[in-house]
Structure 1
Amino acid sequence: MEASFEFEAQLRGETGTRKARSLRRALKIPAVLYGGREAPLPLTLSKPQVDKNLEREAVYSHILTINIEGQGPVQAILKEVQRHPSRESVLHLDFQRIYADEEIRVHVPLHFVNEETCVGVKKGGVITHNLVEVEVACLPGQLPEFIEVDLADLDLGEAIHLSELKLPEGVKPVELIHGTDVPVVTVLAPRVGEEEGEAGEEGGEEEV
């Protein structure tokens, strides 16, 4: 079942550090909704609802519904989560308004599959994940929840680049737009020293 996320919000009259601290003591989270054709809106959200939604990875690459009291629902994406540096508690959220006919840029997580059966791994190789997410540009209706990367046929010394990712129609990696085709994942051959060390250990065991 496709994930869906809603945030209940109230307009926030006062802003500033002191007011934000007061809100957090009352189990509220300050937020802002910006972008598009309207002025930014300072909002207040429920901390329990925020914490519950942020537990799921999909919230970061999904179209969200913000139900603003007195104004109705607004479609948005989550652009930034500010957390306390030591306690990891949420301090503030930034949302960006979206429109069906306007392109958005979102970081989408990569899901790597068939790592254990990867050809290169069976030959002793080690998988190196160079990226765990990719920034993509697309219309809101084309936004994928995640991008699957199949490693089954990846051999020693080979890599999968951005240009080789299987993406839904209309979805483009931002770095490719700028002309940069970086490797997403590689299978590295074991170092010679490691192989010799293992061989030596095996030989020593045989002598004993």
Structure 2
Amino acid sequence: MQIEISARKRVLQGKGASRRLRGSGVVPGIIYGGENPAQAIELDHNNLYHKLKLEAFHASILSMDVEGQKEPVLLRDIQMHPFKLQVLHIDFQRVDPNKKIHMKVPLHFVNADIAPGVKLSGGIVSHVLTELDISCLPKDLPEFISVDLAELASGNTLHLSDLKLPEGVEIPALAKGDNLPVATIVIPRGVAAEEAAVVAAGDIPTTVQKKEAPKEGEKKDSGKKDGGKKK
């Protein structure tokens, strides 16, 4: 489902005008790119703030409605207040359906609970990457990339080349030869120390040894002293 967002054309510009907009619950923004000139816009802060909580809002083609005129856009930049929960400014980029786009999409890790490194070795999954820079046509843009950990064993690492990508999606880093790590299984110190102790205990020689059997021709020690006379 495509996310829609509404905006109005912004006439007054400048720091003073933007400050007054923010004070009235409005966020100044801009739409740029494509063949049309950049358009200054203003959006309702509360509506925008709730949409920003949606993961798909950050990695999807959005439908921007500016006073009844709709066009596809991508969220490109957000400026937040240093300590308030307030959006200060927002940027959107127009989308050309025939041109590839570069976008960061989130990674969703699945099957961590059945990974051998977790289930058999007591390890935990370390997420080296949480989002991925991809390239594709707008129609092929996924909301996220799934990372299957079902076969990840302890001491092994999942790399970019191991990911299963949707059709039409490419990873620019791989084209440059950067096969970056995505996830690995880490064994906690407590578990590792316990395993080491078990291994060490198995290597300790037993203190009780079997008594060596007497060689052929030798008599067993009867416990009596030599020199005893018969009566």
TM-score (norm 1): 0.88
Q: Give the residue type in structure 2 aligned to 1:149.
A: V
CA distance, structure 1, for counterparts of residue 188 and residue 49 of structure 2: 42
Specify every segment of 5 or more residues in structure 1 that has no aligned partner in the other structure, as ranges: 201-208
1:177 deviation in Å? 2.6
Partner of 1:145: 143
Q: Give the residue type in structure 1 aligned to 2:185.
A: V
Question: For the pair shown, which has the larger CA radius of gyration, 1 or 2?
Answer: 2
CA deviations over 1:1-28 (Å, ceiling 9, x no partner): xx32111111111222221111111111
Partner of 2:208: none
Partner of 1:104: 101
Partner of 1:9: 7
Q: Give the residue type in structure 1 aligned to 2:116.
A: V
Q: Give the residue type in structure 1 aligned to 2:2.
A: S
Partner of 1:126: 124
CA distance, structure 2, for counterparts of residue 192 and residue 105 of structure 1: 42
1:58 deviation in Å? 0.7
Partner of 1:61: 59
1:113 deviation in Å? 0.9
Counterparts of 1:183-202 in structure 2 under 5 Å? 183-191=181-189, 194-196=192-194
Is it true that 1:85 corresponds to 2:82 in the alignment?
yes
Q: Give the residue type in structure 1 aligned to 2:41.
A: L
CA distance, structure 2, for counterparts of residue 55 and residue 189 of structure 1: 33
Equivalences, count? 198
CA distance, structure 1, for counterparts of residue 64 and residue 9 of structure 2: 11
1:55 deviation in Å? 1.6
Where do 4+ consecutive residues of structure 1 move more than 2 Å? 188-194, 196-200
Q: Give the residue type in structure 1 aligned to 2:7.
A: A
Please, what is the CA RMSD of the aligned residues? 2.1
**In the alignment, is the contact (CA less than 8 A) between 2:122 and 2:191 conserved in 1?**
no
Partner of 1:165: 163
